[in-house]
Amino acid sequence: MAKKKAGVAAVNQEVLGAIKTSAQDIHRKIVARKKPTMKFPVRSLANVKYRPDRGYFEIAGQKKERTLTVNTVKTFAQTLRMIALSKELVENDDIATKREAYYVSKNWEDARFNEQPESDTVMDDVEAFFSVNREQLGFIPEEKGGDVAGRLIVIDHDRDTGKTLRIDCTKFGSGAYSIPISVERLEFETSAAFILVIETAGMFQRLVKHNYWKQANCILVSMGGVPTRACRRFIRRLADFKKIPVYVFVDGDPYGITNIYRTLKVGSGNAAHLNEFFCVPQATFLGITPQDIVDYKLPTHPLKDVDVKRARDAIKNDPFIRHHKEWVKAIEQLLQMEVRAEQQALAKHGLNYVIETYLPEKLAHPERFLP
């Protein structure tokens, strides 16, 4: 418990230290009658590199400078106020969504934001400036998402009493643990062999209903579509902490592969300053693979135009897909077969075929999973 408290404090102290240093720097320049300056990494696809060794899209060296002048005074002031709000949040163990931060600014008089996109941009700048993720600054996303069941104890604490809470994810019956919006302070205990990450709520519910995590000794995580930041960060922290692999089970279609899986594993282009925190490099692709459609004689749907476009795009432009020959081959196979298959298509062979046959057969050979 003492260790935990110290851990929480350490994260906070680091952020608070960085905030104070930058504020003192600006203050010193003003007192010395010099123009204060802040440098932000440029956040755009053009300033991004794919780093196969690190496993994520990384922001390159380009920076933009914001110097205090007559033209920048309002944005400069807004940036400082946003940093001050972050300091207040961290000190008080509080949180604010982007939207709340926008409304808080309504009391900043001349520094108030007129529209939320303006305050979002400043928040993104601040996040990139400190090279931390927003959640560490006390800013949280609007959206929630991600459910967990199985061999995992999440360790949280009661805000009022400081008491440690041990949340046992084997004890929720047909329900699950819902991942909070900010997961930075959670700790974990688990003896699970792997994390099974599932696209659809329906498939997750089936595996939960049948206590599949017992049989497979694993942790089940439901993404419910494209995973939210909180869900990705939760999986990443858990996988890092316990050094266990992450197997991803999604629909066998271009959306499941290039949007859901790729976003989970290496992040996305337009948030490259964040991928370091939100990617899950230890993820591999269990299925549904294009070859599964053949091997398991799955019922299919024809590829839609949007699927074809997405698949061709990935082969041509996605640095992650292009880096992995196996992925290019798999997507070409899908294009050539002109079909896609949903993970629930396994129900053709019986509702619990997925539990009794498909997953055990696949899990016997994780070395064959797509990268």
For residue 159, state whether it binds its own copies (rule: CB under 8 A). Answer: yes
Q: Write the burial class of residue 249 (CB in 10 Å: 0-12 exposed, 13-18 middle, 19+ buried).
A: buried
CB of 197 to its own copies, least distance (A): 15
For residue 269, state whether it binds its own copies (rule: CB under 8 A). Answer: no
Q: Is the peptide bond before 355 cis (omega within 30 degrees of 0)?
A: no
- Residue 192's CB is within 10 A of a number of other CB atoms, namely 20
For residue 96, state whether it binds its own copies (rule: CB under 8 A). Answer: yes
The residue (of 156 and 332) whose beta carbon lies closer to its own copies is 156
From 69-77, 120-128, 151-159, 241-249, span contacting its own copies (CB under 8 A): 151-159
Per the annotation, the verdict on 103 as an active-site residue is yes
Find, among 91, 72, 75, 78, the residue nearest to 20 by Cα: 91
Q: What is the phi-psi region of residue 63: left when phi exceeds 0, alpha when psi lies from -120 to 50, beta otherwise?
A: beta
Bridge-based pairing of strands 63-67 and 37-41 is antiparallel
From 120-128, 140-148, 262-270, 273-281, span contacting its own copies (CB under 8 A): 140-148
Site mask, its own copies, residues 179-218, x = CB under 8 A? Answer: xxxx--xx-------------xxx-xxx-xxxx--x----
The residue (of 209 and 323) whose beta carbon lies closer to its own copies is 209
CB of 80 to its own copies, least distance (A): 19
For 154, list phi and psi in degrees, rounded to 5.
Answer: -90, 130
The residue (of 156 and 326) whose beta carbon lies closer to its own copies is 156
Q: Write the burial class of residue 275 (CB in 10 Å: 0-12 exposed, 13-18 middle, 19+ buried).
A: buried
From 28-36, 53-61, 93-101, 329-337, span contacting its own copies (CB under 8 A): 93-101
The residue (of 25 and 143) whose beta carbon lies closer to its own copies is 143
User: Token pair of 61, please?
Assistant: 């060296």
For residue 358, state whether it binds its own copies (rule: CB under 8 A). Answer: no
- Sorted by sequence, the CB contacts under 8 Å of residue 267 that are 6+ apart come out as 56, 57, 274, 275, 278, 279
CB of 111 to its own copies, least distance (A): 14
The residue (of 72 and 97) whose beta carbon lies closer to its own copies is 97
Q: Which of 8, 352, 356, 363 binds its own copies (CB under 8 A)?
A: 352
Q: Cβ(36)–Cβ(111) under 8 Å?
A: no
For residue 357, state whether it binds its own copies (rule: CB under 8 A). Answer: no
Bridge-based pairing of strands 194-198 and 218-222 is parallel
Token pair 């066998």 is found at: 252
Cα(321)–Cα(314) distance, integer angstroms: 6
CB of 76 to its own copies, least distance (A): 23
Find, among 83, 71, 63, the residue nearest to 15 by Cα: 83
User: Token pair of 232, please?
Assistant: 């990705």
Among 50, 56, 102, 103, the active-site one is 103
The residue (of 42 and 155) whose beta carbon lies closer to its own copies is 155
Token pair 């003492």 is found at: 2
Site mask, its own copies, residues 162-181, x = CB under 8 A? Answer: ---x-x---xxxxxxxxxxx
The residue (of 185 and 262) whose beta carbon lies closer to its own copies is 185
Bridge partners, residue 41, by sequence: 63
User: How many of the chain's residues bind its own copies (CB under 8 A)?
Assistant: 63
Token pair 């940093």 is found at: 83
Just list the catalytic residues: 103
- Where along the sequence are the contacts to its own copies (CB under 8 A)? 94-97, 99-101, 103-104, 106-107, 140-144, 147, 154, 156-160, 165, 167, 171-182, 185-186, 200-202, 204-206, 208-211, 214, 222, 224, 299, 342, 344-352
